[in-house]
Chain A
Amino acid sequence: MEIGLNHYLVLSVILFAIGLIGVMRRKNLLMLFFATEILLNSVNIAFAAISHYYNDLAGQMFAFFVIAIAASEVAVGLGLLIVWHKKHNNINLDEMSTMRG
């Protein structure tokens, strides 16, 4: 069968949903970061597909930027994560709720 734009979009939506669920459900900080990565990359797929569909480069450009940003996010995120782990030697979300109210 012919793979059309919609397939890609559906795929990206599915991935996005997966990522979202991951963000919501994961208690492990690292896993949570992975989930956000999935989120962003799901979008990349869609962008690539759409830009091909319109054959217009803007979409792909967007995708590249997203990749770059995702990377830097991971950098910063992991940095924070490591510091946190040093201090509390755990990376459990539920641990970090000293501020409330």
Chain B
Amino acid sequence: MLSPINVSFESLNLATLVPMIIPIVGALLILIIDLFKSEQHKSLFVMLSLLVLGVDFVALMDSAGIFTKNGTITGVFDMMLIDGLALLSQFIIVGASLLFIPLALTHKRFHEFSYPEFFALFLFMIAGFQFMVATDNLILIFVGLETASLALYTLIAMHNRDKSFEAAVKYFTMGALAAGFYSFGAMVFYAVSGSVEINEIAQVLKANNYEDIGFVLVGVVFLLASFGFKLSMVPFHTWTPDVYEGSSAALAGYMSIVPKIAAFVVAMRIFEFLIHSGVVWLEVILYIGVVVTMTMANIWALVQTDVKRMLAYSSISHAGFVMAAILIGTTQSNSALFLYWILFSFTNLGSFSMLWISRQKNLPAHQQSDHSYDKFAGMIKTAPVAATIMGLFMLSLAGVPPFALFWGKMYMISSAVTGGYTVLALIMALNSAIAGYYYLKLIVYMFMRDPVVENSGHVYVANATLPLKTIIGIAAVGTIFAFVAVNQLLELVTVFVYNSGY
């Protein structure tokens, strides 16, 4: 017989839920509108979602303000945990989404955007991700994760081409497996600690200083596997290139940023204490995972013939690069992770959007895929501005200073150095060198080769509209003038990470 519980309303601290509620409400709103008057033009929904996200962003800033004043906030029976990580990651999630949504306003008509459901699902997904990062409760993480993922599968499928269905199915299956692993891992931890709150688990394990280490390791392995899927760590990466190729360039770009940051935060929460638990070979596994992911992804990217697949592999390798931060696990490295990811999202979203505006409705004869390299041959002659911008993004991805990603790379490698991982630092550096090759390959095609078939250059901007151009413009500016903002970003990030005890 359960004794009645009485909880003061304040202690629930429902304010913590606001940032997640907003997109959900927005989603419902969209659905309702569609209910009353269907066949609305997509621009309506785009703008609505923009507004909603805008509000969400403001809400986040508000809670950020509270955080900076009086530290970490918990709420709803300590389910919600609004700390620096949560806030930073949500900023990235919402911010990236803000940049993504306008990409729906393409010149050509793509039919997923004609469904209001698309936007509703999109907003649900965001809410899911936000839940995922804003808690240390394994259940809520699981719910958030799955909400987001299920929405995402559908979004991919809505692109409505053969490849996109195939992609969706692959992603879905892998996702399901990952879910299985996750729940099993969670179960193991629950079994050894009797709790589903990460920090409690940590305390319990510390208390009995890892007596049944065997179980812990089993749990870790399963969790690692499931996050391996989400973060597309080698060897769990196999779905990534296919899914990216299958889904629309814009969505691919989005997928390379938002789901990953969410997963990173959770991974950080879970592995941080485990790594420092002195369980050596956990560190070793992670070390190997990181190095292999970086290197192999790079090596596979070398041999790609399609720019989008190349970018897919490159983002895998970037993920590996960033995963190193979790391995190193110092405040500097964790802040480096966020710094890196913020800068990365600008550049990567930019380069995917460049692919997006060059997306033709149907494939010309001389191209074997949507974005094969030779499509871009001699671009400088016909579309110099576009070529230059694309070149900038490539250089930035390659880590050529002073463009955005260089600062992230630098700070990350520095954190490896200070963390005592000299060899890792060198490996990271050399990987950037290898990566240089395939980014350069595109530049070579654009600037130094002659077009395969004479074109007016319209093909590179077939899809361009003002909104898309604006987004690309923002991304470009962010990429070029990053060095102005780096300092503020760095300070902010460091403060947030430090104050949430990572």
Q: How far is the CA of A24 from the CA of B87 in the complex (A)?
A: 39
Q: Nearest CB to that of A83 among chain B residues?
A: B165
B153 touches A80 (CB 8 A): yes
Q: For residue A91, give the distance in angstroms from its CB to the closest CB of chain B.
A: 9
- CB of A1 within 8 Å of the partner chain: no
- CB of B195 within 8 Å of the partner chain: yes
Q: For residue A49, give the distance in angstroms from its CB to the closest CB of chain B.
A: 9
List the one stretch of B13-21, B170-178, B343-351, B386-394 in contact with chain A: B170-178
- CB of A58 within 8 Å of the partner chain: yes
B162 touches A43 (CB 8 A): no
Residue interface bits B156-183, CB-to-A below 8 A is 1, else 0: 0100001101111110110011011001
A62 touches B180 (CB 8 A): no
- CB of B114 within 8 Å of the partner chain: no
Q: Nearest CB to that of A29 among chain B residues?
A: B169
Q: Is the interface of A mostly helix, strand, loop or mixed?
A: helix
Q: How far is the CA of A46 from the CA of B222 in the complex (A)?
A: 15
B187 touches A50 (CB 8 A): yes
Q: How far is the CA of A100 from the CA of B245 in the complex (A)?
A: 10
- CB of B287 within 8 Å of the partner chain: no
Q: How far is the CA of A96 from the CA of B139 in the complex (A)?
A: 33
Q: For residue A83, give the distance in angstroms from its CB to the closest CB of chain B.
A: 6
Q: Nearest CB to that of B169 among chain A residues?
A: A80
Q: Of B142, B191, B242, which is within 8 A of A46 by CB?
A: B191
**Number of residues on chain B facing chain A (CB within 8 A):** 40
Residue interface bits A89-101, CB-to-B below 8 A is 1, else 0: 0000000101111
Q: For residue A59, give the distance in angstroms from its CB to the closest CB of chain B.
A: 6
Residue interface bits A52-69, CB-to-B below 8 A is 1, else 0: 001010110110011001
- Of the four ranges (under 10, 10 to 19, 20 to 34, 35 or more), the interface on chain A belongs to 35 or more
A40: chain B residues within 8 A (beta carbon): 179-180, 183
Q: Nearest CB to that of A5 among chain B residues?
A: B191
A43 touches B184 (CB 8 A): yes
Q: Nearest CB to that of A47 among chain B residues?
A: B187
A42: chain B residues within 8 A (beta carbon): 184
Q: How far is the CA of A100 from the CA of B146 in the complex (A)?
A: 27
A96 touches B169 (CB 8 A): yes
Q: Of B138, B165, B177, which is within 8 A of A23 by CB?
A: B177
A20: chain B residues within 8 A (beta carbon): 180
- CB of B66 within 8 Å of the partner chain: no
Instruction: Given A40-B179, A73-B176, A96-B170, decide whether A59 and B241 contact each other with a Cβ distance below 8 A.
Output: no
A54: chain B residues within 8 A (beta carbon): 194
Q: How far is the CA of A3 from the CA of B394 in the complex (A)?
A: 62
A83: chain B residues within 8 A (beta carbon): 157, 165
Q: Add 15 more A-B contacts to A62-B139, A84-B165 (CB < 8 A).
A: A9-B191, A19-B180, A20-B180, A39-B180, A40-B180, A50-B187, A50-B194, A58-B196, A62-B138, A77-B176, A79-B154, A87-B162, A99-B245, A101-B241, A101-B305
A residues contacting B by CB (< 8 A) are 9, 12, 16, 19-20, 23, 29, 32-33, 36, 39-40, 42-43, 46-47, 50-51, 54, 56, 58-59, 61-62, 65-66, 69, 72-73, 76-77, 79-81, 83-84, 87, 96, 98-101
